[in-house]
Amino acid sequence: MDVNSILPALLLTLLAGLATASRWKAFGWSALSGLSEPLGALLGLLLLSGVWSQAVLGLSLAAVAGIMVFISFDVLLPSARAYGQHHQIVYALVAGMGVMALSLLLL
């Protein structure tokens, strides 16, 4: 579990506890949510162990990066335009991509 998962896990537990009025059900839903990521990784390992290579890893990471960029542009830019902060978001997106490119060059 990484640091980015702690707050969503706490919020899920709180909301599940409020929705079900049962601590055990809230714990169960939170545990199921927490196990989804390692179980998905294990399933992926089992399914792809015969074909996994550096090329497949590179293609997978490129696909995930493309999806994240698409979501950023498709969701964040219209929201920023609605609130009048369009240019600031574009600058932040370009700066973030520049930081990522620089970090890859330094590796």
pLDDT tens-digit map of 40-68: 889 988 988 888 888 888 898 899 989 98
Let me know whether 37 and 62 are in one domain: no
Q: Examine the domain organization and report whether 13 and 29 are in the same domain.
A: yes
3 pLDDT band, cuts 50/70/90, is: low
Number of domains, the chain: 2
Residue among 46, 48, 14 at smallest CA distance from 30 = 14
pLDDT at 75 over 70: yes
Range of the domain at 44: 1-51
| Nearby residues of 82 by Cβ (< 8 Å), 6 or more positions away | none
pTM of the model: 0.50
- Residues with Cβ within 8 Å of residue 96, at least 6 apart in sequence: none
Q: Are residues 40 and 66 in the same domain?
A: no
Distance of alpha carbon 101 from alpha carbon 72, whole angstroms: 17
Q: How confident is the model at residue 69 (pLDDT cuts 50, 70, 90)?
A: confident
